[in-house]
Amino acid sequence: MSTGDQSDDFEQLHALITNSEDITGFLDRMAGFAATALTRSAHAPIQCAVTLHRRKRSATIAGSSDEAVMLDEIEDRLDQGPCEDALRTGKPVLLGDVATDRRWPQYCKTLEAAGCRSVLGMPLDLGPDAAAVLNFFAPETGLFTDDAVSDAEVFAVMAAQALRLALRIAAADQLAENLKAAMESRTAIDLACGIIMAQNRCSHDEAFEILRRGSSTRNQKLHDLAEEIVAGFSGAPAAATHFED
């Protein structure tokens, strides 16, 4: 892989982040891009699937094609193969020929029946909380040469950087949604407390305690009761509720 190719690949990987609606969309596109990159190196059609490992569980979550996902799910189902070893060791694992490799007999037999002859598991370093592997599938032996494996390693470094960024963005978006929901909940509670303060001529702490007791007595969530009070006070279609200390 030339320096120019590396630069182009890196720019396109980062462009995928802004052009994808969510992390799943990004991973699907990244798998397709990885397959294209290795096809370019191997001079033969290579397919790719992405396995993500989080919270002690691994799952196939993207692929360059339906066939790539199917091939990757064979390993996930059997819990053996180069992808699992690459996840565990953090190093590339090559299955050069399913007909002669003796490390994973059942896996090799199933792959051969599916028309796949060689597999390369390439780990992505995502930090302490997650890990991923690019699983490359070839229809023939001898395609994952030293040069092709080296190109896959270079691509994996760039892909890991892009994926780490995509995961951080996804986490930030989720945090923003949670924060927005919390702020909306807090606003309803504060408004309800203000209404109770006006009705009972009490302090904010006393109003909150009245609201809390009402929530407990009614077996109703605090936020739901607060919204009911605000809706009733503002004339929205909900029963007005008056609380006395």
What's the pLDDT tens digit per position in 204-245?
A: 788 888 988 888 888 888 878 888 887 776 554 333 344 444
Work out the average pLDDT over 20-31. 76
Q: Domain 177-234, CATH 3.40.640.10 — does that match?
A: no
CB 83 within 8 A of CB 133: yes
- Among 67-76, 101-110, 173-182, 225-234, top mean pLDDT goes to 101-110
Which strands, in side-by-side order, build the sheet including 47-54?
A: 57-63, 47-54, 130-138, 118-125, 93-95
State how far the Cα of 45 lies from the Cα of 205, in Å rounded to an integer.
68
CATH of 3-174, one of 3.30.1540.10, 3.10.20.590, 3.30.70.260, 3.30.450.80: 3.30.450.80
* Cα gap 122→136, rounded to integer Å: 8
Residues near 12 by Cβ (< 8 Å), separated by ≥ 6?
33
- Compute the distance between CA of residue 165 and CA of residue 159 in angstroms, rounded to an integer: 10
Distance of CA 203 to the CA centre of its chain: 46
pLDDT > 70: percent of the chain: 74
d(CA 39, CA 59): 24
pLDDT at 88 over 90: no
pLDDT of residue 179: 47
Cα–Cα distance measured from residue 102 to residue 144, given in angstroms and rounded to the nearest whole number: 18
Ordered by start, the domain boundaries in the chain are: 3-174, 177-234
Is 155 in contact with 9 (CB distance < 8 Å)? yes
- Tokens 């909940």 — which residue? 185
Q: Residue written as tokens 């990885």?
A: 34
